[in-house]
Structure 1
Amino acid sequence: MKKRLMTVFLAICTLLACAGCAKNADSKIQTKSSTSPKKAEITVAGSTAFEPLVKQAVKSYAQFNPSVKVNVLGGGSQAGLNQVDQGKVEIGTSDFFAAQQNIVNRDHLSDYKVAVVGIAVVANQKLKVNNLSASQLKDIFSGKITNWKQVGGKNQKITIVSRADGSGSRKAFELNVMGKTPIAAAEELSSNKHLEEYVAKTPGAIGYLAFPYLKDNKPKLKKIKIDNVTPTAEHVKDNSWKIWAYEHMYTRGMSRGEASKFITYMLGDDVQDGMLQKAGYISIHDMEVQKDEHGAMVKTGN
């Protein structure tokens, strides 16, 4: 009888102990849940020319606002505008004005100009040609000039390398170099990075590339002067180097919530005074000229 009572007593103690453990575990789970709220998320997508700066800014922004996760996607300027227009992302980035493209609800998009990016003309490093006139550059990309010997180089076929249609870098090149003349049949690539790699490995190749992809002085690429002007930030500021574009951030309607906070950060001193320049961009505040959506120049009076 005593053994039976002792067995029952031990069983009850075991049940009580288990119940206490379960309650304690549940309490720990609740505490962990309450101290680790889910992060808010926003997505920035579009321009590959703008992508390096946005990614760099996101890293520092995480220290400033750790409760928000900012996803960064490329895809090109046209894709960025389409996605923000359709409500698929919070911020669409573009190297051209929404008004320059057939965006369904473009009048409902809000434009925030964050930076300026220069577009350099680049060739394979083995090319002996260092300078082209603006008309020669246009004739090369229109297919009128097809061999480097026609512009003082050796007898070598010219391989035209361009960004795909919908690229902001391409739009800037077309507006500032080609005018209404179409680019001839070319190797068309989806990003600045892919274009950089293709030109570097292809003898006789020529293309155009956003300044940030040249900031490390890539040895396999040659920067071509145009009318004896080198592609530098200083020459972009006064429009001596004419191939450049604004880096836009677009939102659907006025920016709000976490998207508004991130855009405000991009326009603030942390980005505009140092980070932006080190990444190979130009602050909009340093420009001596402005462009409208039609490419017309306006002096700023700086």
Structure 2
Amino acid sequence: MIIFSWSLPGFAVNAIEPNVIHWAGCGITKKAFMAELAAAYEAKTGIKVDLQGGGATRGIRDTAKLKIDLGGTCRMSLPDVDKVEMHSSLHPVAWDALAIIVNKKNGISQLTTQQVKDIYKGKITNWKQVGGRNAPIELYVRDGKISGVGYAIRQYLFQDSDEDFVSDRVVKSSGPLEKAVEKRPNAIGITGVSSARKRDVKIIGFDGKTPTYENVKDGKYGLYRPLYLVTSPSPSKLVKSFIDYAQSEEGKEILRKNETVPYSDALNLMRKMLIYGFDVR
């Protein structure tokens, strides 16, 4: 699936640096496949892919504004929020699960949908309420409502992209959230499983399932979403070449070795995107 739209006037970045593709966006996308994919592409072609962060929103909007050549996002474009997002094309590359993470010292191994919702709404505030020790729950959340993870949590758990979470531990990106869970025994948060696997945290089950490669691929784990590469509606030949590489069998094998499910390996997962899409408010 590719979402097409109109382009904004401007000049592609790689017109200035013809042997470099400038990428920015979602840190989870970077950890899921971009770092390994970029390294393999450079080794194969000699074309460097310069990787920056900035989040899903930057990945979409900076690409639409032609500030970068290529973006990464773990959410769909939201033109209702900012019309500039209409001026981008999203190319699905992989599937990622949302992982519920706690500190490794936490004895909890599973939570249900209702328990997670109640934690995010401030109805469950102590670990003993879900079978754990008598200690306050420290919920870490992303700021804003349109980050890739924050938007997905709202859509999947609450079917409301405007849902407010009850927490005073608000961070700017997934990195600080994951680091806080590593350090604080009572912490909990949600992040991408591709990123969580590379942290010293405990990934717990959700409704009896854990976000293993096979559970994500088969749709048995309930929280998943596509990961996209973002281009302008008229990308350069260099950018098109990288997109083709990412979606090729060679590119998909790099994803699989990184325990990330290629998009085309699990097209059946699209059935749940009605919950994740624009029609849910």
Question: Does the TM-score normalized on the shorter chain lie above 0.5?
Answer: yes
Q: Return the offset for 1:250.
A: 1.5
* Contact 2:72–2:229 (Cα < 8 Å) also in 1: yes
Aligned partner of 1:189 in structure 2 is 171
Aligned partner of 2:240 in structure 1 is 260
Same amino acid, percent of matched pairs: 27
Q: Return the offset for 1:292.
A: 3.5
Q: Say which SS state the counterpart of residue 99 (structure 1) adopts.
A: coil
Aligned partner of 1:213 in structure 2 is 195
The structure 1 segments of at least 4 consecutive aligned residues displaced by more than 6 Å after TM superposition are none
* Contact 1:100–1:293 (Cα < 8 Å) also in 2: no
What are the ranges of 5 or more consecutive residues in structure 2 without an aligned counterpart? 1-16
Aligned partner of 2:113 in structure 1 is 134
Aligned partner of 1:49 in structure 2 is 28
Which one is further off, 191-200 or 108-117?
191-200
- CA-based RMSD: 2.0
Equivalent positions of 1:236-275 (< 5 A) are: 236-273=216-253, 275=254
Letter in 2 for 1:158: I
Q: Write the distance in 1 (CA, Å) between the matches of 2:99 and 2:83.
A: 31
Q: Return the offset for 1:70.
A: 1.6
Q: Write the distance in 2 (CA, Å) between the matches of 1:172 and 1:227.
A: 17
Corresponding position: 1:201 with 2:183: yes
Letter in 2 for 1:223: I
Aligned partner of 2:276 in structure 1 is 295
TM-score, length-scaled by structure 2: 0.84
What are the ranges of 5 or more consecutive residues in structure 1 without an aligned counterpart? 1-37, 297-302
Larger radius of gyration: 1
Q: Say which SS state the counterpart of residue 228 (structure 1) adopts.
A: coil
Aligned partner of 1:171 in structure 2 is 151
* Contact 2:152–2:276 (Cα < 8 Å) also in 1: no
Letter in 1 for 2:221: W
Letter in 1 for 2:238: E
Aligned partner of 1:112 in structure 2 is 91
Which one is further off, 148-157 or 97-106?
97-106
> Deviation per CA, 1:65-118, whole angstroms, max 9, x where unpaired?
11x332111110011111112110111211111137623233332221011111
* Contact 2:159–2:275 (Cα < 8 Å) also in 1: no
> Deviation per CA, 1:157-190, whole angstroms, max 9, x where unpaired?
0000122324212222222123334221242223
TM-score, length-scaled by structure 1: 0.78
Q: Provide the aligned length of Structure 1 versus Structure 2.
A: 255
Q: Write the distance in 2 (CA, Å) between the matches of 1:101 and 1:277.
A: 34
Change (3 A) 1:170 1:100: farther
Corresponding position: 1:71 with 2:57: no
Change (3 A) 1:203 1:100: farther
Q: Write the distance in 2 (CA, Å) between the matches of 1:62 and 1:121.
A: 34
Q: Write the distance in 1 (CA, Å) between the matches of 2:59 and 2:79.
A: 14
Q: Write the distance in 2 (CA, Å) between the matches of 1:119 and 1:101.
A: 24
